[in-house]
Amino acid sequence: MDHEPDPQFAEHLEWQIRTELRRSDRFARPAHPPYLRRLGVAALALLSLSAGAGGVMAAEHMQAAQERAAAQRQRELLLLRAGVLEEMSASRVEIAGRQLARIEQMHASGVASDETVASARVDCEQAQREQRRRQLDREEIEAGGVEPSDDLLAPLVDGRDFVAERLELEIEGVRRVLAAVVERHTRVARLFEAGLGSSQEVTEAELEVARADAEIRVLARRLDVRLAWARGEVQGERVLLLAMQAESEARLDAQRQHAALAARRLAQQRQMVEAGLAAPDPGLEAQVVAAEGEVRLLEIELELLANRLSAQQGSGAPEGEGRGR
């Protein structure tokens, strides 16, 4: 297979490099300090103004050119930053990959536990998702020239819904975390049943599962709302209210679970006190009261949001901004 450059191509490119080097040497503009550049612009603008209507048009033209140049500079800066972040995330992926490889080797020779391998794997996947996210950010800047936005009302960029793409990625990440905490919960529960672990550890693992589960539901609802917005089914403020409602609902579920677990722990503690195996713990009672109070607050928050949403539906939803950029 021939992978040699065509001599004509090689010559042409060499000629182009020579020409470009000479051109830039001959016609390079001396660098002026910024204040001199500003003075020059001001002098030109004054000259244009003094030349009447034509001068005004020239000044406007110049301003438009300056704005374009500023937008281009901003785009370049954003891309530069995004590129650096992407490279850093690629390095992290590499490091996490090596770490995983080492741990897998240790695991094969019986030195590392299943849990250590699982945790290294989660870290590695997390690093890959982070890299993908950085890549999406860079692609958004390339397509739109502005800072990437996670706002649910952010417009589509060049026909792409970067907000939804990032949410999908985030959901995938939390799903992986959920799988890991479920696994941990199963392990801890098994140990507890065998008399080798504490009920406290089981409760903590249950709480971790509840938290990850709630997080997935919040993200999934945000994604639903975003997609509905993109299809034109919901608009403006309603998008934000629906997202808030989703978040409050998930938090309420998690908080209810937290309150139930705190109550269960308090009941166990009371039994031990009655049996003379432990001293009363007022801190536990306070935790139950606080958890139940938080549940009530979230219920009120949800009622208010539901009222606001139904009132809005009655009056007709306000128009949102355009969906495309």
Binding residues (CB under 8 A) for other proteins: these are 1-6, 9-10, 13-14, 16-18, 20-22, 24, 90, 93-94, 97-98, 101-102, 105, 124, 128, 131
* Closer Cβ to other proteins, 6 or 319, answer by number: 6
Residue closer to other proteins (CB basis): 91 or 310: 91
Query: Comparing C-alpha atoms, which of 183, 184, 172, 186 is closest to residue 215?
Result: 172
Query: Shortest distance, CB of residue 287 to other proteins, whole angstroms?
Result: 43
Phi, then psi, of 157 in degrees rounded to 5:
-115, 115
User: From the CB of 145, what's the least distance to other proteins, in Å?
Assistant: 17
Phi, psi (5° rounding) for residue 53?
-60, -40
Which residue in 185, 174, 144 sits closest to 161, CA to CA? 144
- Give the residue with the Cβ less far from other proteins, 5 or 293: 5
Report in angstroms how near the CB of residue 12 gets to other proteins at its nearest.
Answer: 9
Nearest distance in Å: CB 87, other proteins: 9
Distance, CA of 201 to CA of 185 (rounded, Å) = 9
Closer Cβ to other proteins, 103 or 209, answer by number = 103
Axis-axis angle for helices 34-50, 53-108 (nearest 10): 150
In angstroms, the Cα distances linking 174 to 47, 115, 180 are 61, 18, 10
Beta carbon nearer to other proteins, 138 or 251 = 138
The distance of closest approach from Cβ of residue 178 to other proteins in the complex, given in angstroms and rounded to an integer, is 20
* Residue whose structure tokens are 């003094």: 50
Residue 247: partners with Cβ closer than 8 Å, 6 or more residues away: 218, 221, 222
| Residue 94 vs 233, nearer CB to other proteins | 94
Q: How far is the CB of 134 from other proteins (least distance, A)?
A: 12
Q: Which stretches does DSSP call E strand in 5-153?
A: none
